Structure 1
Amino acid sequence: MSFREDGEDGRGDLRKPFLHTGSWYRMGSRQSSLMGSAQAIRDNSVSVLACVLIVALGPIQFGFTCGYSSPTQTSITKDLDLTVSQFSLFGSLSNVGAMVGAIASGQIAEYIGRKGSLMIAAVPNIIGWLAISFARDISFLYMGRLLEGFGVGVISYTVPVYIAEIAPQNLRGALGSVNQLSVTIGILLSYLLGLLVDWRLLAVLGILPCLILIPGLFFIPESPRWLAKMGMTDDFEASLQVLRGFDTDITLEVNEIKRSVASTSRRTTLHFSELKSRRYWLPLMIGIGLLVLQQLSGINGVIFYSSNIFESAGITSSNAATVGVGIIQVIATAVSTWLMDRTGRRVLLIVSSSGMVLSLLLVSVSFFLKGMVAEDSSLYGILGILSVVGVLLMIVSFSLGMGPIPWLIMSEILPVKVKSLAGSVATLANWLFSWIITMTAPIFLAWSSGGSFAIYMTMCVFSLAFVTVWVPETKGKTLEEIQFSFRRASVF
């Protein structure tokens, strides 16, 4: 691919940028057709924030899908006469669909762009919710859940990558954390609305994020880095100018992106032997490792068992407890978003992993001791309260770092040349281990509550060691600087 010389004015009239860019959508009159929407996005932070808020509807859909089965279990099993195992399979099928979506996500986002990928992801989500809403038997429930899962699998890869590629370096951490914040908001919305409406209407409400997302995608620019990689020079510079503001000099950033893309585009075929190079295997290991360890922390098992723990402490309303957990997740993730570009990713990961180790130790010890004392003793009640405190601290610690940051790190450090393949593998690994933890949690907890939390604590110890030894600090660096550091075969 070739780019015009820096001294040549290749940007055209940047007062009328082409926002609807992508290989799936090309128009000869691209500048004039989008003048109106471009006028609405003029300031750097405002334009990027507007884009992030629109694509954040995807993770809200993600969270709504994850949280849907919790408040609807009783009503769905009663209305459709399901067994516990049938409903459990219904809940787990979203993970299965997400694994399929994860496999396809990288290639979809690579060939039709980030916006086109989100457009495709929205369609099966809408169909899936409609199938659940109108279900008269278990087959429609299963089909709807699989379709939702597929869309969520694509969303879980595409949204963090898009945000990382459009955000300026000083805001990338905070904006990248909006992805996980939106997931927690979606979960909380499903919990709250599940207390007010029946399961069919709740499924209909699940369509809303994607119904808003689809038209919203037409008013935001495609990722400039993807456009540059695809050789769409004019669209790339116009997109970047819209994102950075019409009065901002983007020459330096344009040249950095051009150099980065040129250095990775000389050969389009990636040989497996090349993965032995440190510039590839190190970011691959870090990205996949963080997303796997995120699930091995047992967060899904802890949340799954939280209502039982609350009941052991004398809290009888499991629905209220579940909503409380959702609120805590949202608040803690919002704090993480605020801290991301102030303290750095690595520091937050270390604090988060350490907090999870200590909180899970508290839960594990509390359960072991509870098995040794009489149920009518005051110590038994105190231990129940301590187990609740430990669970809440674990959720707060997870939300501060291990929840949002692995997705952000993955989108930052994967080299352009292998991002689609590596991103799909990392996302697939995350969903696979999410499914494993969700399916095995009841078995482990039936075996030994204290032992289960001790296993999760051990995994968090591994996470702490992994972060300390391998994970670099990416705060304040452009994506090109991060990837160049791996090309030099050095860690930050």
Structure 2
Amino acid sequence: MSTEWEGAQAKKPLLVTGNNKASSIWVVVASTAVAVAGSFVFAISVGYSSPSQEGIMRDLHLSLAEYSVFGSILTIGAMLGAILSGTIADWVGRRCAMAISDVFCILGYLLIVFSKNSVWLDLGRLSIECGIGLLSYVVPVYISEITPKNLRGRLAAVNQLMICCGASLAYALGTCITWRTLAIVGVTPCLLQLVGLLVIPESPRWLAKIEHSGALEEALQKLRGKETDISEEAADIKDFTEKIQHLPQSKMLDLFQKDYIHAVTVGVGLMVLQQFGGVNAICFYASEIFVSAGFSSGNTGMLAMVAVQIPMTALGVLLLDKAGRRPLLVVSAAGTCLGCLLVGLSFLSKIFSGSFSLGMGGIPWVIMSEIFPIHMKGSAGSLVTLVSWLGSWIVSYAFNFLLVWSSYCIYICSIENGPFDQKNSSG
């Protein structure tokens, strides 16, 4: 009964339309822009490893194994953040959770800037990724809770677009500035987001959950516009939240009950296939891959990837609500599969990168924020995000060693994810 009622409520737009429609949409867009600054932070940390590898190994005298620890520790810290992400976001709120993550990221980048050895370097990376693990959950959830249904897919996919832009910026800047300066660049979006968080409204759904009626109405008024009557929607949100509060408190083990097992299979399965497609290995070690492929400099290949990633991600954002999640996932998985084959044969990473950016990069996170009931979002978000980062760690740590052993076999093995992903998306 509660599931049917939740479904009916989910079909109601979070934003009403009327004379104040334009102004209310701009508030939502501005709030989304502040939230996805966190995605930019995430992206710079992902794109940091590749252009910095040569300089860090030379300046700090690191071995390949030591640098592989630095590259892969990103995902260990993110797993720690992911485990607590749902709980923290439900406890302190979406805005405060983003602010906490920014503090961790700023501290981490400063440790990298002033690092004298691998210990400082690894501690900085670990701090950054604890923040990133929290951001990777709370950003899509916050966006989904403040946006209207007709814009939700596109605005949620802006999350992936900013990840693409941030990684591309890290690649591009890394070709012309030092690794310490690049770490300073990573602090900038953290500071911008901290300032923006002071002015954007909190999620009305979360405010209703903690029974702050006055703050709920104030947040709704900002999102809807000064002239909009919010009384009916505020009552709907309070009624919805009150019914949810009577449901049992969710725990991670509750996700494996019959009612939720399909959603868990889809959410976790997409993250597993996304990560074991090898995208983070290519992001972390793009420079070395292109050098191994015969380029005189890894910078040329990285800039070519940048030129492909951004327009393909933008295309995915535009098509997401029109074409639907499943068709884009199928096309993206098929293109990524083809890209892995061609990378294995001739190292044409641009096809892989472009195809991944079209759908596999962002859609799993959009689906994750949509398929779970609101009372299960905290536990489910922690589980799905944890699985994503666990897969990322396995791939990123092993990749450098596998590349030395047999680069061809790595990409051929990754092809297997394509057909499985298409089966999963059709479920």
Normalising by structure 1, we get a TM-score of: 0.78
Alpha-carbon distance in 2 for matches of 1:142, 1:363: 30
Q: Which has the larger radius of gyration?
A: 1
| Greater displacement, 68-77 / 149-158 | 68-77
With over 3 angstroms needed to count, the CA separation of the structure-2 counterparts of 1:162 and 1:138, relative to structure 1, is same
With over 3 angstroms needed to count, the CA separation of the structure-2 counterparts of 1:450 and 1:138, relative to structure 1, is closer
| Greater displacement, 89-98 / 265-274 | 265-274
Aligned partners of 1:42 and 1:246 also within 8 Å = no
Q: Using the TM superposition, give the Cα deviation of residue 76 of structure 1 relative to its aligned residue in structure 2, in angstroms.
A: 1.7
Corresponding residue for residue 376 of structure 1 = none
Structure 1 unaligned residues grouped into runs of 5+: 1-40, 368-383, 470-492
SS at match of 2:226: coil
Corresponding residue for residue 244 of structure 1 = 224
Determine if the alignment matches structure 1 residue 345 to structure 2 residue 325: yes
Q: Using the TM superposition, give the Cα deviation of residue 439 of structure 1 relative to its aligned residue in structure 2, in angstroms.
A: 1.8
Alpha-carbon distance in 1 for matches of 2:252, 2:284: 39
Corresponding residue for residue 163 of structure 2 = 183
Corresponding residue for residue 83 of structure 2 = 103
Q: Using the TM superposition, give the Cα deviation of residue 359 of structure 1 relative to its aligned residue in structure 2, in angstroms.
A: 3.1
Match for 2:390 among 432, 438, 444? 432
Alpha-carbon distance in 1 for matches of 2:273, 2:317: 21
Alpha-carbon distance in 1 for matches of 2:52, 2:410: 27
Corresponding residue for residue 93 of structure 1 = 73
Corresponding residue for residue 295 of structure 1 = 275
Corresponding residue for residue 209 of structure 1 = 189
Q: CA RMSD in A?
A: 2.3
Aligned partners of 2:47 and 2:284 also within 8 Å = no
Q: Using the TM superposition, give the Cα deviation of residue 80 of structure 1 relative to its aligned residue in structure 2, in angstroms.
A: 1.9
Corresponding residue for residue 364 of structure 2 = 406
Alpha-carbon distance in 2 for matches of 1:134, 1:414: 42
| Greater displacement, 107-116 / 284-293 | 284-293
Alpha-carbon distance in 1 for matches of 2:152, 2:366: 9
Alpha-carbon distance in 1 for matches of 2:189, 2:105: 10
Alpha-carbon distance in 2 for matches of 1:442, 1:80: 19
Determine if the alignment matches structure 1 residue 132 to structure 2 residue 112: yes
Q: Using the TM superposition, give the Cα deviation of residue 443 of structure 1 relative to its aligned residue in structure 2, in angstroms.
A: 4.0
Structure 2 unaligned residues grouped into runs of 5+: 1-20
Alpha-carbon distance in 1 for matches of 2:251, 2:298: 52
Determine if the alignment matches structure 1 residue 415 to structure 2 residue 373: yes
Alpha-carbon distance in 1 for matches of 2:283, 2:93: 35
Q: Using the TM superposition, give the Cα deviation of residue 123 of structure 1 relative to its aligned residue in structure 2, in angstroms.
A: 0.6
Q: How does 1:15-94 map to 2 (within 5 A)?
A: 43-94=23-74
The amino acid across from 2:280 in the alignment is N
Corresponding residue for residue 418 of structure 2 = 460
Partner deviation per Cα, 1:128-181 (whole Å, 9 max, x = no partner): 111111112222111111101111111111111101111111111110011111
Alpha-carbon distance in 2 for matches of 1:108, 1:145: 21
Aligned partners of 2:252 and 2:380 also within 8 Å = no
Q: Using the TM superposition, give the Cα deviation of residue 271 of structure 1 relative to its aligned residue in structure 2, in angstroms.
A: 6.5
SS at match of 1:279: coil
Corresponding residue for residue 9 of structure 1 = none
Aligned partners of 2:312 and 2:358 also within 8 Å = yes
Aligned partners of 2:49 and 2:285 also within 8 Å = no
Number of aligned pairs?
408
Corresponding residue for residue 218 of structure 1 = 198
Corresponding residue for residue 490 of structure 1 = none
Q: How does 1:252-331 map to 2 (within 5 A)?
A: 253-270=233-250, 275=255, 277-303=257-283, 306-307=286-287, 310-311=290-291, 315-331=295-311
Q: Using the TM superposition, give the Cα deviation of residue 113 of structure 1 relative to its aligned residue in structure 2, in angstroms.
A: 0.2
The amino acid across from 1:153 in the alignment is G
The amino acid across from 1:109 in the alignment is A
The amino acid across from 2:148 in the alignment is P
With over 3 angstroms needed to count, the CA separation of the structure-2 counterparts of 1:147 and 1:276, relative to structure 1, is closer
Alpha-carbon distance in 1 for matches of 2:169, 2:179: 13
Determine if the alignment matches structure 1 residue 145 to structure 2 residue 130: no
| Greater displacement, 216-225 / 198-207 | 198-207
SS at match of 2:350: helix
Corresponding residue for residue 227 of structure 1 = 207
Aligned partners of 1:42 and 1:242 also within 8 Å = no
Partner deviation per Cα, 1:66-115 (whole Å, 9 max, x = no partner): 11121122222222222222222112211111111111111110100000
Alpha-carbon distance in 2 for matches of 1:85, 1:271: 38
Corresponding residue for residue 120 of structure 1 = 100
Alpha-carbon distance in 2 for matches of 1:271, 1:449: 41
| Greater displacement, 391-400 / 167-176 | 391-400
Alpha-carbon distance in 2 for matches of 1:447, 1:83: 17
Partner deviation per Cα, 1:174-227 (whole Å, 9 max, x = no partner): 100111111111111212222222222221221111111111101000011111
Q: Higher helix proportion, which one?
A: 2
Aligned partners of 1:130 and 1:203 also within 8 Å = yes
Q: Using the TM superposition, give the Cα deviation of residue 301 of structure 1 relative to its aligned residue in structure 2, in angstroms.
A: 3.3
Determine if the alignment matches structure 1 residue 449 to structure 2 residue 416: no
Alpha-carbon distance in 1 for matches of 2:254, 2:300: 52
Aligned partners of 1:58 and 1:159 also within 8 Å = yes
Alpha-carbon distance in 1 for matches of 2:289, 2:59: 28
Match for 1:174 among 154, 167, 173? 154
Alpha-carbon distance in 1 for matches of 2:54, 2:256: 51
